[in-house]
Chain A
Amino acid sequence: MSATLEDLKKTFAFAVPADVLAKLDPAKPLTAQGVDSLAMTAMAVAVQNAFGVKISVAEGLKLKTLNDVLAFVNKAR
């Protein structure tokens, strides 16, 4: 079964402050929405652990939006 945006947001609950997470626009770059480097790192870890995928450096650079992350997870699984 494919992961959904909601699954993704649940995964990020402890990586990103709740107020920032609630307002995230899935189509906009995360870095432009108050997600700092510490939170980005925690999100990358959460994705790897929750979905059992490995993010390479080159792939990681392309995961700019929540939609990008979702597509990556569903393709990699």
Chain B
Amino acid sequence: MTLGALPYILALVLMLIGLYVVVAKKNIIKIILGVCILEYAVNLFLLLLGYRHGGAAPIRTAEQADTSAFAAGAVDPIPQALILTSIVIGLGCLALMVSLAVRLHEKFGTFDMTRIRELKG
């Protein structure tokens, strides 16, 4: 199966775009957005790793009484639990980064990192 790694590679491309924004852009808000894109890409990659073809959500209903049949057809629940943690932590980090950017804009009147570096004090 030649397409086996294609979704992983697309997630990698998304991650590299986020990394490019973080490294190459001069605007603080753009850098925060780049961190957001990086987070999405990593979450997506972990989720793709846990999927199986035709897999059902790992939620049991009353009709699925056979445990072994359910366990053979559900997707991996562990990456999902960890991504759930990571999404919410991402929101907290975003709030912290945004508050720092707001303070910088208050002090220097710009989001441009090169100009912030020039203005001392």
Q: Do A and B come from one complex?
A: no
B interface vs A, CB < 8 Å?
none
